[in-house]
């Protein structure tokens, strides 16, 4: 309980830090606001569009971090595989490819559809995620059953490589200028949406996450294997179906919001694991995990917005950079655990 | 005074005509600057070539944001930066409160939609071939309210974009050429690009054959292998490099791409300034002049 | 009447002409047997002879979505206490959390808790347990389930002798209560005292089904295992 509160506090601190920092609002501007020199209303009306942009940006990065961490943890439990995560398994890649193909073939829809644009993107993302998952389910999970945990990473590698090759070929042939767009989606950049679009995306990210959190007990039983779950009253097949559906929702919404961001879903559950052992209440574990995901993505986002000012690199670049020290931490801990 | 309708009646009709003529002249003289000041035009440019065009159209004073790569004309470097060429920070763009954002092909769809939703006009300058330029510049001029300037440039370009003639009146034929954008990896201008068109005007034919079905379709610049470069049979290789580089150093860098680290005897290497030639900006005309001078 | 000599209606568990097929081969062929309430059936057979498949089919764990094709009739209780082999370890849990997750509590659980001495393990993490400790925990979890049908797949592996004794005690206690216990044992000869049925499997078929207390099919088991002296307290393995 204490740790969750501590993390929530830290998250709030970073939310505030993230909100006040940016090229448009230097420290002096905030100082003026605090000391009531410039007048608050004047400041707000001056910066309204920027503040809206920033609020949406921060909300989306928190929600995406939360969703990715939850999705990663759930997949790791369901598949009993420490390497499972929407990005590693190619779920995000499938979704991203579908979104990019929609952007390529129906660019005019973006101008025509004022409010329907994002749902169109989301539907294509969902179709892409469903496609990737059905390939995984029909071919590659069978491979995993034979070869064990590393095969999942191999299967994901194969899917990721095929999807990115498809994108490269299609875009190089049809729209070479669009390769910038490809880069921004495949590396994972938080998309510049307005408040209306965020209000569409946030429930899409949070509702499936909460559902997955509610399945915690069944998932824990399932983590001891199918037979164990079945004989302890969990309808394993149904549970798996529902969870895969949720994962598709999560992956497609996360991709719509921010392209395919890697490492958050993979590493955050491993990072939070040690703490979780100390946690008395099992119900708090998924919440802690989700909050930690938000925190990591928020940090990466803060870096991406401030480090290379005024240029803004995709946030996925920084999650990859941040993941390295975390990976070392996890490895060292495993070593210590073994010794 | 305005309550009284009499001034209209009292005004002599002949004097009125003269006065109108005078004020129209005055208005036309200051038209471009007046419009931009009066309408509060604020432009953010998302590409170096766009920045050059905006200065060429006389709207340099209205530029409120450029990219980190914008270095021409010299004043452009003093304008606030809103990101690098491909990595724009939306927040910095919005901070400048622009009325217009001008970009080139490839601006992400969501970015342009978001800007449009904020009530900012987004204009995309889209040029593939040399003949696209006049039309695109006129469109840009119309968008920014400087039609006269733009059509002036368009006319200038149309006049300049004619095949150069030999003294005897025949069209120039000078042989085949390979246009190296970067030596390592080898990126070249494809035959279906404005850069190749530019060289074609001076009589230089792009040595690459454009076959449909390769990645060259619609690609301005394409990556080829050293084998492909040699197989093109070009006797003259043109390298676009920063003008600050000494020639010797540049030719050394090109030599690195050959198997024995030496430029083969039959190949002549020529260096042109990269920023003048490879940016689809107004300095294309000076590039064309450079080519003409070199021919003489 | 059937070959066990008991009326059908009295049988808590009835299996008739059970077949199971997966990935191109039959893992069970034409198995029929019945067990009245209070019986302890011991399954014997070499590795891969179909014991585990038989137990899983009784617990209806052979799902068609995993590629199983099962024909025949199994009539058994709705609730089943099942102990499988090779349970994957979720290493994030402590022992007490594992029990909180799986057991509903109750008298059974308190009894099992003390019989298998779980108290001394309660604060350990699952990843820190030895094979035998983990097996005790699984057994306590499984046997605290008051279902009328108890299916155990090699519950005696990893256990040393005293704990094996405790296990057999618990099983006979269950049988005395009227539950049916079906158990595949690593050392079947140790169950001589409590077994009421002996089932011998070979390559998916039922070789023999002997019933009756104090009937120890020494010869038949010898045929199955090709081991000469089965009477010895520790088998040669």
The share of chain B scoring above pLDDT 90, in percent, equals 30
Chains C and B touch (3+ CB pairs under 8 A): no
Contacting subunits of B (3+ beta carbon pairs below 8 A)? A
Contacts of residue B264, Cβ cutoff 8 Å, sequence gap at least 6: B230, B258
The share of chain A scoring above pLDDT 70, in percent, equals 92
Q: Report residue B252's pLDDT band, with 50, 70 and 90 as the boundaries.
A: confident
Question: Residue A181 and residue B109: Cβ atoms within 8 Å?
Answer: yes
β partners of residue C151: C82, C182
Q: If you average pLDDT over residues B271-289, what whole number do you get?
A: 90
Q: Burial level of A82, CB count in 10 A (0-12/13-18/19+)?
A: middle
Question: Residue A111 and residue B81: Cβ atoms within 8 Å?
Answer: no
Contacting subunits of A (3+ beta carbon pairs below 8 A)? B, C
ipTM score? 0.83
| C-beta separation of A314 from A329 below 8 A | no
Instruction: Name every residue in A having a CB less than 8 A away from some CB of C.
Output: 77, 80, 217, 220-221, 223-228, 230-232, 237, 273, 276-277, 282, 337
CB of B124 within 8 Å of a chain A CB? The answer is no
pLDDT in tens, C98-147: 888 887 777 888 888 888 998 888 888 888 888 899 999 999 999 998 88
The closest of A188, A196, A184 to A55, measured between CA atoms, is A196
> What pLDDT sits at residue C2?
41
Query: Which token pair is A54?
Result: 């920033």
DSSP string, C74-107: EE--S-EEEE-SSPPP-TT-BHHHHHHHH---SH
pLDDT in tens, A32-90: 777 766 667 777 777 788 888 889 999 999 999 999 999 999 998 888 888 889 999 99
Question: Residue A220 and residue C101: Cβ atoms within 8 Å?
Answer: yes
pLDDT in tens, A154-169: 888 889 999 999 988 8
Q: If you average pLDDT over residues C91-95, what whole number do you get?
A: 78
DSSP state of C125: B
Q: Report residue A95's pLDDT band, with 50, 70 and 90 as the boundaries.
A: very high
Task: Locate the chain A residue with the closest alpha carbon to C138.
Answer: A228
Question: Residue C82 and residue A227: Cβ atoms within 8 Å?
Answer: yes
> What pLDDT sits at residue B19?
59
CB of C123 within 8 Å of a chain A CB? The answer is no
CB of C227 within 8 Å of a chain A CB? The answer is no
The share of chain A scoring above pLDDT 90, in percent, equals 42
pLDDT in tens, A220-250: 888 888 888 888 888 888 998 999 999 999 9
Out of A171-180, C69-78, C200-209, pick the least confident: A171-180
pTM of this structure? 0.82
Query: Which token pair is A179?
Result: 């390769």
CA B136 to chain centre: 10
Chains A and B touch (3+ CB pairs under 8 A): yes
Residue owning tokens 């809103």: B82
Buried b (16+ CB within 10 A) or exposed e, A248-262: bbbbbbbbbbbbbbb
Question: Residue B114 and residue A111: Cβ atoms within 8 Å?
Answer: no
Contacts of residue A120, Cβ cutoff 8 Å, sequence gap at least 6: A102, A106, A109, A113
For an interface test with A, the pick among B42, B45, B103, B109 (most A C-beta atoms closer than 10 Å) comes out as B109
Q: Is the peptide bond before A45 cis (omega within 30 degrees of 0)?
A: no
Question: Residue B95 and residue A23: Cβ atoms within 8 Å?
Answer: yes
The closest of A7, A21, A92, A93 to A51, measured between CA atoms, is A21
Q: In the A/C pair of chains, how many CB contacts fall below 8 A? A: 46
B134 or A336, which is more confident? B134
Task: Locate the chain C residue with the closest alpha carbon to A142.
Answer: C66
Mean pLDDT of chain A: 86
Task: Locate the chain B residue with the closest alpha carbon to A168.
Answer: B215
CA–CA dist C204, C49 (Å, integer)? 5
Question: Residue A230 and residue C59: Cβ atoms within 8 Å?
Answer: yes
Residue A175 has pLDDT above 80, yes or no: no
Contacting subunits of C (3+ beta carbon pairs below 8 A)? A
Q: What residues of C are in contact with residue A220 (Cβ under 8 Å)?
A: 90, 93, 101
C41 or B183, which is more confident? C41
pLDDT in tens, A119-135: 889 999 999 999 999 99
Task: Locate the chain A residue with the closest alpha carbon to C124.
Answer: A277
Query: Which token pair is A93?
Result: 């890649």
Residue B71 has pLDDT above 70, yes or no: yes
- Which run of H or E residues covers position A187? helix A179-187
DSSP state of C231: T
Question: Crossing angle of helices C107-115/C161-176, nearest 10°?
Answer: 150
Residue owning tokens 């081991």: C227
Q: If you average pLDDT over residues B106-118, what whole number do you get?
A: 88
Out of A231-235, A279-283, B14-18, C178-182, pick the least confident: B14-18
Out of A98-107, B29-38, C86-95, pick the least confident: B29-38
| C-beta separation of B281 from B48 below 8 A | yes
CA–CA dist C99, A263 (Å, integer)? 33
Query: Which token pair is B24?
Result: 């129209």
Question: Residue B89 and residue A310: Cβ atoms within 8 Å?
Answer: yes
Question: Residue A224 and residue C80: Cβ atoms within 8 Å?
Answer: no
CB of B88 within 8 Å of a chain A CB? The answer is yes
Q: What residues of B are in contact with residue A49 (Cβ under 8 Å)?
A: 94, 118
Q: Which of A271-280, B11-20, B176-185 holds the top average pLDDT?
A: B176-185
> What pLDDT sits at residue B1?
38
> What pLDDT sits at residue A163?
94
Q: Report residue B84's pLDDT band, with 50, 70 and 90 as the boundaries.
A: confident
CB of B6 within 8 Å of a chain A CB? The answer is no
The closest of C196, B164, C100 to A282, measured between CA atoms, is C100
pLDDT in tens, C46-61: 888 899 999 999 998 9
CB of B86 within 8 Å of a chain A CB? The answer is yes
Q: Report residue C237's pLDDT band, with 50, 70 and 90 as the boundaries.
A: very low
Out of A230-244, B41-55, B214-228, C15-29, pick the least confident: B214-228
Q: What residues of B are in contact with residue A178 (Cβ under 8 Å)?
A: 106
Q: If you average pLDDT over residues B16-21, what whole number do you get?
A: 58
Q: How far is the CA of A212 from the CAs of A73, B56, C77, in angstroms? A: 10, 58, 32
DSSP state of C236: -
A77 or A334, which is more confident? A77
For an interface test with A, the pick among B82, B92, B93 (most A C-beta atoms closer than 10 Å) comes out as B92
Q: If you average pLDDT over residues B86-104, what whole number do you get?
A: 89
Query: Which of A49, A176, A181 is opposite residue B108, by nearest beta carbon?
Result: A181
Question: Residue A191 and residue B110: Cβ atoms within 8 Å?
Answer: yes
B3 or B259, which is more confident? B259
The closest of C57, C49, C71, C69 to C205, measured between CA atoms, is C49
Give the per-residue SS3 of A141-164.
HHHHHHHCHHHHHHHHHHHHHHHH
Mean pLDDT of chain B: 81
The closest of B142, B68, B48, B72 to B100, measured between CA atoms, is B142
β partners of residue B271: B239
Mean pLDDT of chain C: 83
Q: What residues of B are in contact with residue A175 (Cβ under 8 Å)?
A: 218
Q: What residues of C are in contact with residue A237 (Cβ under 8 Å)?
A: 63, 65
Name the pairing type of β-strands C11-22 and C25-36: antiparallel
Q: If you average pLDDT over residues B271-287, what whole number do you get?
A: 90
Question: Residue A111 and residue B116: Cβ atoms within 8 Å?
Answer: yes
Q: Report residue A264's pLDDT band, with 50, 70 and 90 as the boundaries.
A: very high
CA–CA dist C182, C151 (Å, integer)? 5
A154 or C3, which is more confident? A154
CA–CA dist B143, B45 (Å, integer)? 14
Residue C234 has pLDDT above 70, yes or no: no
Give the CA-trace dihedral at B124, B125, B128, B132, to 10 degrees. 130
DSSP string, chain B: -TT-SHHHHHS-HHHHHHHHHHHHHHHHHTHHHHHHHHTT--EEESSHHHHHHHHHTT-GGGEEEB-TT--SSGGGGGSPB-B-SS-B-HHHHHHT--SEEEEETT--HHHHHHHHHTT-EEEEE--SSTTHHHHHHHHHHHHHT-HHHHHHHHHHHHHH-S--B-TTSPBP--EEEEEEEETTTTEEE-SSSHHHHHHHHTTEEESS---BTBTTTT-SEEE--HHHHHHTT-SEEEEEE-TTS-HHHHHHHHHTTSTTSS--TT-EEEEEEHHHHHS-STTHHHHHHHHHHHH-
Give the CA-trace dihedral at A302, A307, A311, A316, to 10 degrees. -50
> What pLDDT sits at residue C210?
83
Question: Residue A225 and residue C82: Cβ atoms within 8 Å?
Answer: no
Task: Locate the chain B residue with the closest alpha carbon to A306.
Answer: B89
Name the minimum distance, in Å, from the CA of C235 to any CA of chain A: 30
Question: Residue B114 and residue A103: Cβ atoms within 8 Å?
Answer: no
| C-beta separation of A264 from A296 below 8 A | yes
Q: If you average pLDDT over residues B258-276, what whole number do you get?
A: 85
Name the minimum distance, in Å, from the CA of A173 to any CA of chain B: 6
Task: Locate the chain A residue with the closest alpha carbon to C62.
Answer: A227
CB of B90 within 8 Å of a chain A CB? The answer is yes
Question: Residue C92 and residue A337: Cβ atoms within 8 Å?
Answer: no
Residue B219 has pLDDT above 80, yes or no: no
For an interface test with A, the pick among B47, B88, B93, B110 (most A C-beta atoms closer than 10 Å) comes out as B110
Cβ neighbours of C60 (radius 10 Å): 14
Q: What residues of B are in contact with residue A174 (Cβ under 8 Å)?
A: 218
DSSP state of A138: I
For an interface test with A, the pick among C84, C98, C143 (most A C-beta atoms closer than 10 Å) comes out as C84
Return the SS3 of C184. strand
Query: Which of B95, B110, B215 is opposite residue A24, by nearest beta carbon?
Result: B95
Residue B215 has pLDDT above 50, yes or no: no
Residue owning tokens 């959190």: A213
| C-beta separation of A50 from A58 below 8 A | no
C32 or C86, which is more confident? C32
Contacts of residue B15, Cβ cutoff 8 Å, sequence gap at least 6: none
């Amino acid at each position: 309980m204490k740790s969750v509160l501590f993390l929530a506090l830290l998250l709030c601190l970073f939310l505030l830090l993230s909100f006040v920092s940016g090229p448009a609002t230097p420290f002096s501007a905030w100082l003026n606001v605090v000391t009531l020199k410039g007048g608050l209303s004047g400041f707000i009306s001056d910066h309204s569009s920027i503040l809206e942009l920033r609020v949406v940006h921060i909300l989306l990065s928190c929600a995406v971090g939360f969703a990715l961490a939850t999705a990663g943890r759930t997949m790791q439990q369901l598949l009993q595989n420490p390497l499972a995560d929407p990005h590693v398994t190619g779920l995000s890649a499938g979704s991203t490819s579908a979104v990019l193909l929609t952007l390529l073939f129906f660019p005019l829809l973006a101008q025509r559809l004022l409010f329907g644009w994002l749902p169109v993107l989301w539907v294509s993302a969902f179709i892409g995620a469903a496609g990737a998952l059905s390939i995984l389910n029909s071919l590659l999970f069978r491979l995993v059953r034979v070869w064990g945990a590393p095969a999942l990473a191999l299967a994901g590698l194969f899917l990721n490589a095929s999807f990115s090759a498809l994108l490269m070929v299609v875009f190089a042939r049809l729209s070479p200028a669009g390769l910038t767009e490809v880069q921004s989606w495949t590396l994972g950049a938080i998309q510049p949406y307005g408040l209306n679009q965020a209000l569409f995306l946030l429930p899409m990210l949070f509702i499936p996450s909460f559902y997955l959190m509610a399945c915690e007990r069944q998932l824990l039983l399932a983590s001891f294997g199918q037979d164990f779950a079945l004989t302890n009253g969990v309808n394993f097949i149904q549970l798996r179906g529902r969870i895969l559906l949720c994962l598709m929702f999560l992956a497609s919404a996360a991709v719509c919001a921010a392209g395919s961001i890697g490492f958050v879903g993979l590493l955050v559950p491993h990072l939070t694991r040690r703490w979780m052992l100390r946690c008395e209440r099992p119900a708090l574990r998924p919440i802690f995990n989700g909050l930690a995901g938000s925190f990591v993505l928020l940090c990466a986002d803060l870096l991406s917005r401030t480090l290379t000012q005024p240029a803004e690199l995709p946030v996925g670049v920084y999650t990859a950079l941040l993941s390295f020290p975390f990976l070392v931490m996890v490895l060292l801990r495993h070593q210590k655990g073994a010794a | 005074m305005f309550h009284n309708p009499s001034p209209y009646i009292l005004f002599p009709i002949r004097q009125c005509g003269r006065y109108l003529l005078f004020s129209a002249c005055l208005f036309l003289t200051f038209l471009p600057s007046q419009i931009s000041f009066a309408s509060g035009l604020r432009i953010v440019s998302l590409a170096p070539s766009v920045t050059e065009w905006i200065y060429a159209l006389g709207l340099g004073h209205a530029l409120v944001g450029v990219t980190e790569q914008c270095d021409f004309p010299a004043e452009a470097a003093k304008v606030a930066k809103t990101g690098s060429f491909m990595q724009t920070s939306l927040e910095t763009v919005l901070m400048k409160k622009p009325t217009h954002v001008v970009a080139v092909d490839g601006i992400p769809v969501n970015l342009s939609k978001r800007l449009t939703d904020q009530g900012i006009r987004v204009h995309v300058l889209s040029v593939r071939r040399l003949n696209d330029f006049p039309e695109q510049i006129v469109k840009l001029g119309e968008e920014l309210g400087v039609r006269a300037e733009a059509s002036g440039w368009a006319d200038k370009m149309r006049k300049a974009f004619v095949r150069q003639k030999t003294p005897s009146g025949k069209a120039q034929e000078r042989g085949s050429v390979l246009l190296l954008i970067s030596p390592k990896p080898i990126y070249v201008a494809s035959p279906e690009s404005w850069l190749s068109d530019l060289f074609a005007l001076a009589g230089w034919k792009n040595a690459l054959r454009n076959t449909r079905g390769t990645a060259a379709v619609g690609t301005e610049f394409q990556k080829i292998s050293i084998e492909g470069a040699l197989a093109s049979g070009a006797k003259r290789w043109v390298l676009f490099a920063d003008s600050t580089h000494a020639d010797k150093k540049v030719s050394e860098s090109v030599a690195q791409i050959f198997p024995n680290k030496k430029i083969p005897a039959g190949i002549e290497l020529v260096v042109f300034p990269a920023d003048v030639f490879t940016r689809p900006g107004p300095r294309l005309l000076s590039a064309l002049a450079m080519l003409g001078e070199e021919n003489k | 009447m059937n070959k066990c000599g008991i009326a059908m209606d009295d049988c808590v568990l009835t299996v008739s002409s059970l077949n199971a097929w997966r990935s191109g081969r039959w893992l069970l062929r034409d198995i029929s047997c019945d067990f009245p309430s209070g019986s302890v059936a011991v399954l014997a057979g070499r590795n891969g002879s179909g014991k585990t498949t038989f137990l899983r089919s009784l617990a209806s764990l052979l799902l068609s979505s995993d590629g199983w094709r099962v024909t025949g009739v199994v009539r058994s209780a709705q609730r089943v206490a099942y102990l499988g082999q090779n349970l994957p370890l979720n290493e994030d849990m402590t022992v007490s959390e594992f029990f909180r997750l799986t057991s509903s509590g109750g008298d059974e659980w308190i009894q099992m808790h003390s019989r298998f001495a779980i108290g001394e393990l309660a604060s350990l993490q699952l990843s820190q347990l030895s094979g035998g400790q983990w097996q005790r925990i699984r057994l306590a979890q499984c046997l605290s389930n008051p279902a009328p049908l108890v299916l155990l797949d090699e519950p005696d592996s990893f256990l040393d002798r005293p704990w094996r004794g405790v296990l057999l005690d618990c099983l006979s206690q269950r049988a005395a209560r009227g539950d049916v216990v079906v158990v595949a044992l690593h050392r079947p000869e140790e169950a001589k005292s409590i077994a009421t049925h002996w089932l011998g499997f070979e390559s998916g078929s039922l070789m023999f089904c002997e019933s009756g207390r104090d009937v120890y099919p020494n010869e038949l088991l010898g045929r199955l295992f090709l081991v000469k002296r089965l009477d010895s307290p520790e088998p040669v393995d």
